[in-house]
Amino acid sequence: MLFHVEMTVKLPPDMPAEQAAKIKATEKAYSQDLQRQGKWRHLWRVAGSYSNVSIFDVEDNAELQELVSNLPLFPYMEIRVKPLCRHPSSVRGDDS
């Protein structure tokens, strides 16, 4: 199942820089592992913001919930999820 996920990061302004850098580094490693597994298919920065638009390819809602709620930045994010399905007018042979 494909999901469009928009994440907006809102770190507390008083979080020490070292702590923020550590969480971001852990987030990067976690997301890159999921990207290599093919579960996190796309990761795009929304220009001009501290938000991303991502496409996840997971078994079901429960797996999406597990992956997203384990994001190191999860406590500091607003997350919006939209389920996706193929568009009948798409010219692609697959959903890549």
Ligand X SMILES: O=C(O)CC1=CCC(=O)O1
Q: CB neighbours (10 Å) of residue 37?
A: 10
Six-digit token string for 91:
């010219």
Shortest separation between residue 10's beta carbon and ligand X, angstroms: 11
Q: With CB under 6 A as the contact rule, which of the stretches 11-19, 25-33, 58-66, 78-86 interacts with ligand X? A: 25-33
35 binds ligand X per the rule CB under 6 A: no
Buried b (16+ CB within 10 A) or exposed e, 67-76: bbeebbbeeb
Cβ nearer to ligand X, comparing 26 with 86: 26
Positions touching ligand X (CB under 6 A) are 7, 9, 27-28, 31, 52, 73
